[in-house]
Structure 1
Amino acid sequence: MLPTLSRIAAALERLAPPPAVTPAPKGADAFVWHPAQAGLPARLAPVARVAAVEIGLLQGVERQKSLLLENTLRFARGLPANNAMLWGARGMGKSSLVKAAHAAANEAHPGSLALIEIHREDIRTLPELLNILRADASGSGGGGRRCLVFCDDLSFEREDADYKALKSVLDGGIEGRPANVLFYATSNRRHLMPRDMIENERGSAINPGEAVEEKVSLSDRFGLWIGFHNADQSTFFAMVEGYAQALGLPIEPDALRREAVEWSVTRGGRSGRVAWQFITDLAGRLGVALPG
C-alpha cells in the first residue's frame, strides 16, 4: 500500500507546476518588466545590451544633462535623489538622456544601478513591481540593488484611472516608494494629460480649482522637472556638428551645414532625432560605420 501511495504522490508532484520564482534585478544592468498574464508569472526580463547613446554625444541639452546626471549619480552613490519627469518637445533626447545617464552612473559606480523599463500599458502594475523591489531590498538586509524604474512616453487619456495608482506609489501611499527605487518618466505633456481634459474638468466641476488640481497634481509628485524645447537652427547645427566630429565624418563644415538644412526642411523640423537621422544617412553615404 505504501509503495502505491508513494508512486501516486511522486506522480502528482511531477504534474504540479514549479514554485513561482520571485523576480529580482540581478544578472544584468537593465530589465523590462513583464507583469503576470495568461498564466505566466511576472518577470524581469534582462536586456543584454541597452540601445543607449554615449552621454557626451547628446548635444543642445547641456542643462538637462547636468540636472539628470547629477540626480542619477547621487542616487547611485546611495544619497537622496528625486523622481524625475522629462517633458517637452518630441525628438529632443528625453529617453536617450535617461538611458545615457544610467550608463554613465554605472560607469562611475559599476553595477550600482539597474534600469527597469515599465511599459505605459503596464503602469497599473507599478505597485506590484515596487513591492518586488522592496522585498529584494529587505531580503538583502536593506542593501538591495538601486533601481531606476523608467516609463517612456507616459501620458493619460480621459477616463484613464491608472494615474491614481501612479500618484499613490510616487508619494502619499501608506508604504511609499522603496528607498532603493527612483521613478523616471518622459512625456510630451507637461502635466501628463491633454489640455482639453484639464479644461473640461474646469468647466464641469462644482469646484473647478479643485478638479484641475486633482488632475495636475500627478506631475507635482516628481521632484525634478526637466523641460525640453524645440531646437533653433544654431542648436540644430551644434547637434549635427557634435555628432559629425565625434564620429570622425570626413566632410567640410559648410557642406555639413548645407546638407543638414536641406535634411531638416524635408523632415519639417529640427530636433535631436532629426539630427541623428541625418548623421546616420550621411555616415552611410560616406561609408563610415556607426558605433554598435
Structure 2
Amino acid sequence: MYHLTSKLVIYKNINKDSILFRLSNICKKLEADDYVKEDLISDIYIEINRLLDISTIYGFDKNLWHNYLAFVLSMTENPFTLVSEKVGTNEGTVNKFARNDFGIFKQLFDYDFSKIEKELDIDCFTIITNYNAVVKSEQIFNKSVSEKVQKLSYAIEQTKDDEELYKIVTDFYKTYGVGEFGLNKAFRISADDKSGILCPITTTSDMLLDDLVGYESQKKELVQNTEAFVEGRKANNVLLYGDAGTGKSASIKAVLNQYYSRGLRMIEVHKHEFKKLPKVIAAIKNRNYRFIIYMDDLSFEEFEIEYKYLKVVMEGGLETKPENVLIYATSNRRHLIRETWSDRSDISQDELHRSETVNEKLSLSARFGVTIGYYNPLRKEYFNIVTTLARRHPEIKLTDEELRSAASKWEMYHGGMSGRTAQQFIDSLLGARDLS
C-alpha cells in the first residue's frame, strides 16, 4: 500500500494522520520486515477503531474500506477538485496527474488485505469489508453525507479501470461538490477554532414550502427572491417579521431544502457571533455555492450594539458583500431594535437629537431589501390549517366539525391561533392513544 500512496500527486495533501496514510506506513513496516508483531497488530486495531468511528458518524455499511476511500475522495479539497466542482470533467495537463492518482485509488479499492491477515494471524480487514451495520436513527449519523458517499463508493466498485473512475469522481464533484460545503446543507459557527470557522449541522428538517399551509403571498415573494439568487441574478437580503409561531423560520428552512440541489447552502449565525461574520464570509466568498446567512429571532435591546457589526457586513464596509451571500433573518420586530415612546420625541433628558438615534436604529432594517410580514391567521384560516394538517394523517378520524371544536379549545389554552399552535394541536392528537 505504501508504494501506492507515496506516488499520489493531486491528492498528496490528504492529512498524513489519516487512516489511509497511517495504514500505508504500517504496510511499509510489514513489507520491510521491520516490526514487532504485537505492536503492529495494536497499530492496525487503532486504525480499525478509527474507521469504525467514522463509519458510525456517517452511517457507512457493507464495505467500510470502500466507503472510507470514497469519503476521502469526496472531502479532499485541492485546486483540481475545486475546479471539477465548477466544470466537472475537463481538459488540461493537470488531468495526467489526476488520472495517475485515480489509477492509484482504483488499486487501493481493489487492495488485497489477505496477505497482511495471514502474516499477522488477524481477520479485521475481512470483517470491515463485509460489514453489517446496526440500523441507526437518522438523528445519530450524518445522513446527507452518508447517502452521497455510499452512492459514490458503489459506483467506483463497478468501474473497470482508472478512466471510468476519473469520470465518475469528477461527475460527482460537479453534481454534489466537494468537502464539507459540497456534502452538507447547513452550517453553524464552530466553537472550536482549530476545526475551522464553520462546522456542519448534520440533522436538518425535510420540510418543503408546500408543507406550510397558508401564507401563499409571503411564500411566493420569498421564492422569487431566492430563485433570483440561486440563478445568479440580483437579489435582496430578506427580513421575515411578524407574530410568533406563524412560520417565518419554517419558511426559510423549507427554502433550503427546496434549493439545496441547485447549490444553496445555509449558515446559522446568532447575534453574539456577529463579530465573526467577516471570517465567515472570507471562508465562503470564493466557493461555487450560494450561501444564505440565517439569523433567527433577530432583535436588539437598546443597550446591545451587536447590530452595528451586522450593518457593516450588509452595507457600509470597504469590502463589499460577495455576490454569493445573502442574509435572511426572522424577527417579531419590524425594525429589529427595541423602540420606546421617547423615540417619538426629539427631546430627551440625556440626548439632544433623539431623531438621530431613531435613524440609527432604523438603518439596520432598511438594509433588508425585502421585508415580508407574517401575521396570526384569522379563525377561518386557523381552522383551515388545522384540517389540512390533520388530513395528512389518515389515523386521525375526527370529522372537520370535531376538529374545529377541539382546535378552538386548544388554542384558548396554548397561545392563541397560529400555525405553530395548529401543529402542536395535531401533534397532541397523534400522541393520543385514541384518535377517533
| Superposed pair shares fold, TM > 0.5 | yes
Structure richer in helix, relative to its length: 2
Give 3-state SS (helix, strand or coil) of 2:303's partner.
Answer: coil
Which amino acid is the alignment partner of residue 258 of structure 2? Answer: A
In 2, are the aligned partners of 1:64 and 1:226 still within 8 Å (CA)? yes
Q: Which residue of 1 aligns with 2:283?
A: 132
Deviation at 1:62, TM superposition (A): 1.2
Measured against aligned partners, the alpha-carbon deviations of 1:194-228 in whole angstroms (never above 9, x if no partner) come to 12287289543322322211111100000000111
Q: Which residue of 2 aligns with 1:263?
A: 410
Measured against aligned partners, the alpha-carbon deviations of 1:68-113 in whole angstroms (never above 9, x if no partner) come to 112112211222111000111011111000001121123xxx1410
- Normalised to the residue count of structure 1, the TM-score between the two structures is 0.80
Q: Which residue of 1 aligns with 2:129?
A: none
Q: Which residue of 1 aligns with 2:379?
A: 233
Deviation at 1:35, TM superposition (A): 5.5
Deviation at 1:125, TM superposition (A): 1.5
In 1, are the aligned partners of 2:239 and 2:330 still within 8 Å (CA)? yes
Counterparts of 2:345 and 2:314 in 1: how far apart (Å)?
23
Measured against aligned partners, the alpha-carbon deviations of 1:27-74 in whole angstroms (never above 9, x if no partner) come to 21111122556xx45432212331242211212311111111121122
Q: Which residue of 2 aligns with 1:224?
A: 370
In 1, are the aligned partners of 2:185 and 2:265 still within 8 Å (CA)? yes
Give 3-state SS (helix, strand or coil) of 1:127's partner.
Answer: helix
> Where does 1:59-78 land on structure 2 (aligned, <5 Å)?
59-78=213-232
Corresponding residue pairs, total: 258
In 2, are the aligned partners of 1:90 and 1:188 still within 8 Å (CA)? yes
Give 3-state SS (helix, strand or coil) of 1:114's partner.
Answer: strand
In 2, are the aligned partners of 1:198 and 1:215 still within 8 Å (CA)? no
Q: Which residue of 2 aligns with 1:51?
A: 205
- Alignment partner for residue 87 of structure 1, among 215, 222, 241? 241
Counterparts of 2:399 and 2:278 in 1: how far apart (Å)?
53
Which amino acid is the alignment partner of residue 221 of structure 2? Answer: L
- Alignment partner for residue 300 of structure 2, among 151, 156, 162? 156
Q: Which residue of 1 aligns with 2:423?
A: 276
1:186 aligns with 2:314: no
> Where does 1:164-175 land on structure 2 (aligned, <5 Å)?
164-175=308-319
Measured against aligned partners, the alpha-carbon deviations of 1:126-179 in whole angstroms (never above 9, x if no partner) come to 122112212x33xxxxxx211111010111122222111111111122112111
Consecutive unaligned residues of structure 2, counting only runs of 5 or more, are: 1-16, 18-76, 78-178
Measured against aligned partners, the alpha-carbon deviations of 1:208-255 in whole angstroms (never above 9, x if no partner) come to 322211111100000000111122211111111121123333321111
Give 3-state SS (helix, strand or coil) of 2:373's partner.
Answer: strand
Distance 1:198 1:117, change over 3 A: farther
In 1, are the aligned partners of 2:237 and 2:370 still within 8 Å (CA)? yes
Give 3-state SS (helix, strand or coil) of 1:26's partner.
Answer: helix
In 2, are the aligned partners of 1:72 and 1:102 still within 8 Å (CA)? no
Consecutive unaligned residues of structure 1, counting only runs of 5 or more, are: 1-13, 15-20, 138-143
Q: Which residue of 1 aligns with 2:398?
A: 251
In 1, are the aligned partners of 2:188 and 2:267 still within 8 Å (CA)? yes
Q: Which is higher, the Rg of structure 1 or of structure 2?
A: 2
In 1, are the aligned partners of 2:272 and 2:306 still within 8 Å (CA)? no
Give 3-state SS (helix, strand or coil) of 2:340's partner.
Answer: helix
Counterparts of 1:198 and 1:24 in 2: how far apart (Å)?
49
Q: Which residue of 2 aligns with 1:214?
A: 360
Distance 1:162 1:43, change over 3 A: same
Give 3-state SS (helix, strand or coil) of 2:240's partner.
Answer: strand
In 2, are the aligned partners of 1:35 and 1:125 still within 8 Å (CA)? no
In 1, are the aligned partners of 2:185 and 2:256 still within 8 Å (CA)? no
Distance 1:201 1:122, change over 3 A: farther
- Alignment partner for residue 176 of structure 1, among 299, 304, 320? 320
Distance 1:113 1:158, change over 3 A: same
Counterparts of 1:130 and 1:266 in 2: how far apart (Å)?
44
In 1, are the aligned partners of 2:181 and 2:265 still within 8 Å (CA)? yes
Structure number with higher relative contact order (C-alpha < 8 Å, ≥ 6 residues apart):
1
